Amino acid sequence: MRKLITMFILLGFLLAVISTVFAGPPQTIEIEVVQNQTRYFPDGTWRHDVPPSNITFELRLTGNVLSGEMTYSPDVESLRANKFKLICDGEVDGGYMWVLQMGGSLYTSPYSGLTINEYWEGYLILDEEFNLIGGEFRQIGYCSSPNTIDKCAYAEKGVPPKIGLWCLGWSIYTYTPL
């Protein structure tokens, strides 16, 4: 029995090494898209639309994972935890669904000076050559500052309630091919 267990462990290790060798080195992928953004107040009412802009996702492909970093315009201060991954989740709509995996990002706002906690969710649909078919990200902004209500009169405490932060609102980003 001990030899059998050892054999399975060695086999697993060998498969891991072989799959790493055949997967090859990470590949850099650039995906140019048109980004549309709609901003909402914490209560869900429309705030405003941001004019469309052309952006480029700069990603690294390793196996079935695309990794990158969130960037902000204008630049923000003290940016932390802005790395994300897109995990391939299978075929859909003539392409492949890549689901966003990101806990969030943290930075100091150039507008209010507040420390902003953002949480992201979403997906991109890419064809087999990594051309964009479509996609959508949702960005939710929170702040824990006791002075938030003075700087952002529309902030709501505890949206959603379990987080216990001031919700500043959210944005929906839609991505279409350039």
pLDDT in tens, the chain (178 residues): 455 344 434 444 434 433 443 456 789 999 999 999 999 998 889 999 999 999 999 999 999 999 999 888 888 888 988 899 999 999 997 899 999 998 789 998 888 788 888 999 999 999 999 999 999 999 999 887 656 566 676 777 765 555 668 888 899 999 999 9
What local confidence, expressed as pLDDT, does residue 68 receive?
94
Dihedral, 42, 48, 52, 58 alpha carbons, nearest 10:
-20
Domain assignment of residue 149, yes or no: yes
> What domain count does the chain have?
1
What local confidence, expressed as pLDDT, does residue 154 receive?
72
What local confidence, expressed as pLDDT, does residue 149 receive?
60
Range of the domain at 116: 25-177
Q: Tokens 């941001």 label which residue?
A: 50
What local confidence, expressed as pLDDT, does residue 171 receive?
96
Domain assignment of residue 156, yes or no: yes
**pTM, rounded to two decimals:** 0.79
What local confidence, expressed as pLDDT, does residue 57 receive?
95
Domain assignment of residue 55, yes or no: yes
Q: What distance in Å separates the CA atoms of residue 120 and residue 129, rounded to the nearest whole number? A: 25
Q: Tokens 């078919």 label which residue?
A: 133
Domain assignment of residue 39, yes or no: yes
Strand partners, 156: 167
Domain assignment of residue 81, yes or no: yes
Domain assignment of residue 19, yes or no: no
SS3 state of residue 94: coil
Domain assignment of residue 10, yes or no: no
